Amino acid sequence: MYARVIKALSLLPAELASALKPIIEDSNFDSTISPEQFECLLSTTHMTDTELRLALLPLAASYAVVPISNFYVGAIVRGTSGRLYFGANMEFENASMACTIHAEQSAISHAWIKGEVGIKDVTINYSPCGHCRQFMNELTSANDMMIQLPQREPMTLQQYLPDSFGPLDLGVKDGLLSDLNNGICIEEGSELAISACNAANRSHAPYSKNFSGVALKAQDGRIFEGMYAENAAFNPSLPPLQVALINMNMSNYSLSEIAEAALVESAESKISQLARTQALLEALNPDIQLTYVAY
């Protein structure tokens, strides 16, 4: 467990910190709160649902990787299963600002990685920027999703993004977090390449058809997958490497622990993830070996 997460826990109200401690310190804690755990916390603290989600934000923000801004943003999303997923912003030294991951993207990707097919609500400590509003508009649940900020009444995403442009405007019915299998198969490859292929099979790329995935292997051998999350507005698309980095960070691994990487993508698409993946990996550590498979 990150020391900064434990520190954030110690700064919470005493009753909440005491109730959370066994959850956070459990060896199986995966930066999520189950519906049953959330109900128990509500009962113990006598907080409302909204109050508790807002009170948990400092824990989510403690996962932030912000060497440039030192500006910690936390987000918590509730999936259709009722489970809460933490997320936080991530920045990368010696890389383009365009590589930055926003807290909402982190929490939503975290939920996607773990199998959620829809988001009920997003709780965040700062108003979502336009980039994130557009990113969230790609979701399967974009029309019904609620956004909660401190000291504000909950509002729908569509209130934050009126007259929005989204997947349906381009004839796409399956939004981000749809349960997909893109049917990709690579004939041979390493365990890491096969994991990247598995991620590509879950990727959301209805506009470019560049179904792509990344897998990262940590020094201890654990593998983290990341899927490409394409967006109707193109620019807010989240590359597969960033989703894999979210996966690693929210699993309490430092990015300095990356030993190897693999990227699997379409050879026939008009776009490619290769150059951007190479550039960010180079910024993280020039010694990271990248396996590239174009199917």
Name the pLDDT band for 189 (thresholds 50, 70, 90). confident
> Which pLDDT tens digit goes with each residue over 226-271?
999 999 999 999 999 999 999 999 999 999 999 999 999 999 999 9
Tell how strand 119-124 and strand 146-148 pair up.
Answer: parallel
- pLDDT (0 to 100) of residue 120: 99
pTM listed for this prediction: 0.97
pLDDT at 188: 82
pLDDT the model gives residue 187:
84
Read off the pLDDT of residues 171-182 as tens digits, 9 standing for 90 and up.
999 999 999 999
Residue 85: is its pLDDT beyond 90? Answer: yes
108: buried, middle or exposed (CB in 10 Å: 19+, 13-18, 0-12)? Answer: buried
Mean per-residue pLDDT, 215-226: 99
Dihedral, CA of residue 275, residue 97, residue 130 and residue 111, to nearest 10: 70
* Tokens at 16, concatenated: 């909440």
pLDDT confidence of residue 174: 96
Amino acid identity at 10? S
pLDDT single digits (tens) 126-158:
999 999 999 999 999 999 999 999 999 999 999
- Do the annotations mark residue 129 as ligand-binding? yes
pLDDT > 80? residue 1 = no
User: Residue 118: which residues within 8 A CB-CB, separation 6 or more?
Assistant: 79, 80, 139, 140, 141, 177
pLDDT at position 125, please?
Answer: 94
* Residue % of the chain over a pLDDT of 90: 98
Question: How far lies 97's CA from each of 27, 90, 131, 169, 222, in Å?
Answer: 35, 11, 13, 29, 28
Q: Determine the average pLDDT of the residues in 162-186.
A: 97
Q: What pLDDT score does 51 carry?
A: 98
Task: State the Cα–Cα distance between residues 83 and 100, nearest whole angstrom.
Answer: 26
Using one digit for the tens of pLDDT, what is the confidence trace for 88-101? 999 999 999 999 99
Q: How far apart are CA 269 and CA 287, in angstroms?
A: 28
- Give me the pLDDT at residue 2, please: 80
* 102 marked among binding-site residues: yes
| Separation CA 250–CA 103 (nearest Å) | 12
Q: Which domains does the chain have, with CATH numbers?
A: 30-170 (3.40.140.10), 191-294 (3.40.140.10)
The CA distance from 135 to 238, in Å, is: 9
89 is in an annotated binding site: yes
Is 132 marked as a binding-site residue? Answer: yes
Q: Which residues are catalytic?
A: 104
Average of per-residue pLDDT values in the chain: 98
Q: How confident is the model at residue 191 (pLDDT cuts 50, 70, 90)?
A: very high
Mean per-residue pLDDT, 35-51: 98
* pLDDT confidence of residue 175: 98
